[in-house]
């Protein structure tokens, strides 16, 4: 195989990867919840900065605002699994040294604050070099996973599998744990992204997902030399067939019979039957369920009083809103937590409830989830970062109760009484 043949093989790899329902492109990068999570994670990072700045962050990872936001990143499906490991306190090694050292903690806070505030690649890289110069023990490029959610077009996700995938695809020898090595890899990733931009995205999460799937063994990298292209192509076909078989097995074993879209459709139909105007999350309106868009018959625009309120960008992404027929009052808000991202749903609820607008003040707030997720929902609500939830009217609504009672509620219900009857309060 000549060097001139390799780009065609890389292109074939990316095309196969994009078409694979179980690979990160379709299962994570195109996942609607991924987009919803950017604002909530950014908000979480800003809270970490504020607590460090005012001296209330504390000296432990467990229970901190940093644990909350890193946990929300780790929820982002397989690509970020284990993202919290780098931030866990290792007492024998005393790393990462941002908990017991006030100086290092403030430096970490400055890094996050300055990266929140800047928009240019040069500024972000300058902040990375500044933190690297301090040589804070145990604080390495895993922080890039925070920076990715601040600047997805400038910083790629980072973990062991991504590094392995990059080395396999490019022949580089990038090592873990070094900011300099990370910046060198970032430069190479940008070059790759430019070369295959028509198949990837300006958002570096796409190429990060590709590298993850290569590094984790889902896809073989095209040969750098010595292996015939035909042999690699046959191996790619075998890997794809095996991945498809495993995906079907996992789906049969682990996927809930109900879907996120189905829950939204049920809540939409109940709301309409009860006489409310219904809003479906802006990025879900066109999604098809049983052959029709979820937004069919729903509001095309939020009332101006809501659309211009503080936190409106998050409010418009709440899965389902019920609005009073004759005014702009939000009667109820529902976040469907089908598999992950409980954190982000709670943040959107807080944005609605704490927006300071009279049009949201009396809203009933409901986290809708499978019955086996109640423990997860309550664990998230109990986090210190969500201390304000105790003052709010937030309830847990299990799928099973909604399924069992939705028809009766739609036929005989009035207002929120029946919905509240099948939900369990989450606040103390």
Q: Are residues 164 and 135 in the same domain?
A: no
Residue written as tokens 């879209």?
261
Q: Which domain holds residue 224?
A: 3-29+156-251
Say what the pLDDT of residue 4 is. 62
Q: Are residues 166 and 136 in the same domain?
A: no
User: Of 100, 118, 150, which residue constitutes the final position of a domain?
Assistant: 150
Question: In this structure, how many other beta carbons lie within 10 angstroms of the beta carbon of residue 285?
Answer: 16
The domain total for the chain is 3
Q: Are residues 195 and 336 in the same domain?
A: no
The string of pLDDT tens digits covering residues 169-187 is 999 999 988 999 999 999 9
Q: Are residues 111 and 220 in the same domain?
A: no
The string of pLDDT tens digits covering residues 57-71 is 989 898 888 988 898
Q: Are residues 304 and 211 in the same domain?
A: no
Q: How far apart are CA 322 and CA 333, in angstroms?
A: 6
Q: How confident is the model at residue 275 (pLDDT cuts 50, 70, 90)?
A: very high
Q: Are residues 24 and 171 in the same domain?
A: yes
Q: How far apart are CA 344 and CA 38, in angstroms?
A: 9
- Does residue 6 register a pLDDT over 80? yes
Look up the pTM and report it.
0.75
Q: Are residues 187 and 131 in the same domain?
A: no
Q: How far apart are CA 272 and CA 260, in angstroms?
A: 19
Q: Are residues 306 and 369 in the same domain?
A: yes
Q: Are residues 43 and 20 in the same domain?
A: no
Q: Are residues 328 and 415 in the same domain?
A: yes
User: Of 150, 184, 203, which residue constitutes the final position of a domain?
Assistant: 150
Q: Are residues 170 and 264 in the same domain?
A: no
Share of the chain above pLDDT 70, in %: 89
The string of pLDDT tens digits covering residues 91-136 is 888 999 999 999 999 999 999 999 999 999 999 999 999 999 999 9
Q: Are residues 309 and 227 in the same domain?
A: no
User: Of 150, 165, 188, which residue constitutes the final position of a domain?
Assistant: 150
Ranking 33-47, 110-124, 217-231, 310-324 by mean pLDDT, the lowest is 217-231
Say what the pLDDT of residue 187 is. 97
């Amino acid at each position: 195989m000549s060097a001139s043949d390799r780009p065609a093989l890389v292109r074939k790899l990316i095309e196969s990867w994009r078409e694979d329902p179980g690979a990160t492109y379709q299962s994570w990068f195109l996942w609607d919840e991924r987009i919803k999570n950017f604002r909530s994670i950014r908000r979480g990072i800003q809270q970490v900065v504020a607590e460090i700045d005012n001296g209330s962050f504390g000296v432990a990872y467990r229970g901190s605002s940093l644990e909350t936001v890193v946990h929300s990143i780790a929820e982002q499906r397989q690509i970020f699994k284990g993202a919290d490991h780098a931030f866990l306190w290792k007492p024998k090694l005393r790393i990462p040294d941002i908990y017991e050292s006030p100086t290092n903690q403030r430096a970490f806070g400055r890094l996050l604050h300055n990266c929140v505030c800047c928009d240019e690649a040069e500024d972000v890289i300058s902040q990375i070099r500044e933190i690297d110069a301090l040589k804070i023990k145990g604080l390495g490029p895993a922080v890039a996973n925070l920076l990715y959610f601040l600047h997805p077009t400038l910083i790629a996700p980072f973990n062991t599998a991504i590094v392995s995938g990059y080395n396999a695809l490019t022949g580089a020898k990038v090592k873990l744990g070094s900011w300099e090595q990370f910046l060198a890899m970032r430069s190479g990733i940008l070059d790759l992204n430019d070369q295959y931009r028509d198949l990837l995205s300006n958002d570096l999460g796409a190429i990060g997902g590709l590298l993850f799937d290569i590094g984790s063994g889902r896809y073989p990298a095209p040969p750098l030399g010595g292996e015939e292209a035909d042999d690699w192509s046959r191996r790619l076909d075998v890997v794809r067939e095996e991945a498809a078989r495993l995906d079907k097995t996992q789906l049969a074993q682990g996927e809930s019979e109900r879907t996120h879209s189905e829950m939204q459709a049920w809540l939409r139909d109940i709301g309409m039957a009860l006489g409310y105007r219904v809003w479906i999350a802006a990025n879900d309106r066109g999604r098809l369920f049983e052959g029709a868009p979820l937004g069919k018959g729903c509001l095309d625009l939020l009332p101006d009083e809501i659309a211009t309120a503080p936190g409106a960008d998050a409010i418009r992404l709440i899965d389902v809103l019920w609005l009073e027929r004759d005014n702009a009052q939000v009667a109820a808000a529902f976040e469907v937590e089908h598999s992950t991202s409980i954190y982000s749903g709670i943040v959107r609820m807080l944005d609605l409830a704490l927006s300071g607008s009279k049009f949201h003040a009396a809203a009933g707030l409901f986290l809708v989830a499978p019955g086996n997720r109640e423990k997860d929902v309550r664990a998230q609500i109990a986090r210190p970062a969500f201390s304000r939830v105790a003052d709010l009217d937030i309830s847990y609504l299990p799928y099973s109760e909604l399924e069992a009672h939705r028809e009766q509620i739609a036929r005989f219900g009035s207002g929120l009484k029946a919905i509240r009857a099948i939900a369990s309060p989450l606040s103390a």
